[in-house]
Structure 1
Amino acid sequence: MSHSVTTWYLEQTAREQLAPAQAPPAGQGVRIARSEVPSPEFSRFLYTAVGGDVLWTDRLAWPYARWAEYLGRPGVETWVAYERGTPAGFIELEAHPEGVVEIAYFGLLPGFRGRRIGGHLLSYGTARAWDLAERWPQRARTARVWVHTCSDDGPHAKANYERRGFQLFDTKVGEEPEVPAPGPWPGAGRALPAGE
C-alpha cells in the first residue's frame, strides 16, 4: 500500500525576507539554546519525539557512528526550544560551503504544538541560518536558506514557513509506502482502541 505525498520546497534569498514571529509570553518560560556538544543520543531523541507522529523514518536506521559523524560536521547545528526546562522542539541547520543553508529538520513535540513556540523557534533558527549563510567562508555571492516540507508533516508546517517569509520554488508529488507512525519508541505512534 502507498499514498500520495506532496513535497513543497521553500526558500529565502535575502535576510530581509524573514518575518519573525512574536515570542511566547515571558511567563511561559521558553528559551532557545544550541546543543553545542554533538550527542547522537540527544539528537535521536529529538528526531523520534518530534517526528514520530508525522512519519519521519529516514534516520531511524542510522547507527551511532553515522549520527556522530553527521553532528560533528562543520556547519551542522542543532538549536533546541525549552519550556520551563523541558525540550519542546528543535531546528537543525546544515550549512553548505557555497553559502546555502538547509533547515534539515524542524518541529515540536506533540504536547508543545499550538503554544506559539514553533513560530518563535523557526524565526530564531532562520536568523541563525542567515548568519551561517552570510559568514560561511568561500560562500557564493548569493546566500540562500531553504527547507522542504510535505503533506505528511504537521497540518500547519507549510503555512508557518510562509508566514516567516519563505517562498515556494518547487512542488513535487509522489507515492510513499504506508508505514505506521513510529512514535518516540516502538508502538508509541499507534492509535489506542476506544476504552484503552
Structure 2
Amino acid sequence: MTQVTVNYLQQLSPSEVIPSTRSLPSNARIELAAEISPEFSRFLYQSVGSELNWADRLDSTRAQWDEVLRRPGSETWVLYIDGSPKGYFELVTTSTATASDVEIFYFGLFPEATGHGLGAVMLTEALQRAWELHSRWPQLPAVARVWLHTCSLDGPAALPNYQARGLKIYRTEVEDSQVRDASVGLWPQPTT
C-alpha cells in the first residue's frame, strides 16, 4: 500500500477561468470525438495513464466503459498534432433538476507531448468546453460547477497547471492505495 494525497479542485463560475497565454501550434487541433468507441477511449486512457498508474478503469468491461461514454453530458475531446492523438480530456456531467456539475473526469497528454506547454492550452479548452456544455446539451440544466481531482501519483505539472488556470482546492484527502502498474497489457512482454 502507498499513501496517496488526493486534491479536489473546482470552479464555481466561468469567470474564474484563467486562460493560458499560449496557443496551440499551427499543426495542432482539439476536436470533439463524437460517438467515440470504448476501444478508442481505452487507447487514450492507457496512452496517457500508463506512466501515471492510471489503472482504475482497466477492469471495466466494454459495456461499462461504453455506459460512461453514453451518459448525457459526457464528451471526449482529443488533442491532435500532425494528425496523431497526443492527449485528451473527458467530461462527465451529473445533474439535478436545477444545475449540472461537470467533472473533468480524465485529462492528460501522451508522454511524448509533455513539457511543451500543451497542458495549459488544453486545460483552458477543457474548462471552456465544460462551462459551455449546456449549449451542446440543452436538455441538461446550466453548469454550476466544474471540478476535477488529481493525486500525488500524477505528473508534477498537474496541480500547478490546474491552479494556474483558476481551479481552487476545496478538499484534500490522504488515502492508502494499491498502486497498480497501468502499463500492463499496453504492450506484449518480450520473451526471453
**What is the TM-score when the length of structure 2 is the normalising length?**
0.89
Cα gap change, 1:186/1:25 in structure 2, threshold over 3 Å: closer, same or farther?
closer
The equivalent of 1:192 in structure 2 is none
The equivalent of 1:77 in structure 2 is 75
Give runs of ≥4 in structure 1 deviating > 4 Å: 133-138
Q: Structure 2: any 5+ residue segments left out of the alignment?
A: none
How big is each residue's C-alpha offset from its partner over 1:11-62, in whole Å with a ceiling of 9 and x where there is no partner? 00110110111344534x1110000012111000000010111111111011
- Quote the Cα distance in structure 1 between the aligned partners of 2:141 and 2:185: 37
- Quote the Cα distance in structure 2 between the aligned partners of 1:60 and 1:138: 29
- Quote the Cα distance in structure 1 between the aligned partners of 2:138 and 2:11: 17
SS in 2 for 1:8: strand
SS in 2 for 1:143: strand
Do 2:79 and 2:85's aligned partners in 1 also have CA atoms closer than 8 Å? yes
- Quote the Cα distance in structure 2 between the aligned partners of 1:99 and 1:92: 16
Structure 1 residues 174-183 or 12-21, which shifts more? 174-183
Do 1:13 and 1:143's aligned partners in 2 also have CA atoms closer than 8 Å? yes
- Quote the Cα distance in structure 2 between the aligned partners of 1:178 and 1:81: 27
Q: Which amino acid aligns with 1:73?
A: R
How big is each residue's C-alpha offset from its partner over 1:131-176, in whole Å with a ceiling of 9 and x where there is no partner? 1268754637x71100100000111101110000001100000111
Do 1:49 and 1:183's aligned partners in 2 also have CA atoms closer than 8 Å? no
Cα gap change, 1:170/1:118 in structure 2, threshold over 3 Å: closer, same or farther?
same
The equivalent of 1:194 in structure 2 is none
- Quote the Cα distance in structure 2 between the aligned partners of 1:32 and 1:22: 17
Q: Structure 1: any 5+ residue segments left out of the alignment?
A: 189-196
**What is the TM-score when the length of structure 1 is the normalising length?**
0.87
Q: Which amino acid aligns with 1:139?
A: P
SS in 1 for 2:132: helix
The equivalent of 2:61 in structure 1 is 63
How big is each residue's C-alpha offset from its partner over 1:98-142, in whole Å with a ceiling of 9 and x where there is no partner? 3111000000000000111111111001101001268754637x7
Cα gap change, 1:113/1:32 in structure 2, threshold over 3 Å: closer, same or farther?
same
The equivalent of 1:4 in structure 2 is 3
The equivalent of 1:139 in structure 2 is 141
Cα gap change, 1:186/1:40 in structure 2, threshold over 3 Å: closer, same or farther?
same
What is the identity percentage for the equivalent residue pairs of Structure 1 and Structure 2? 41
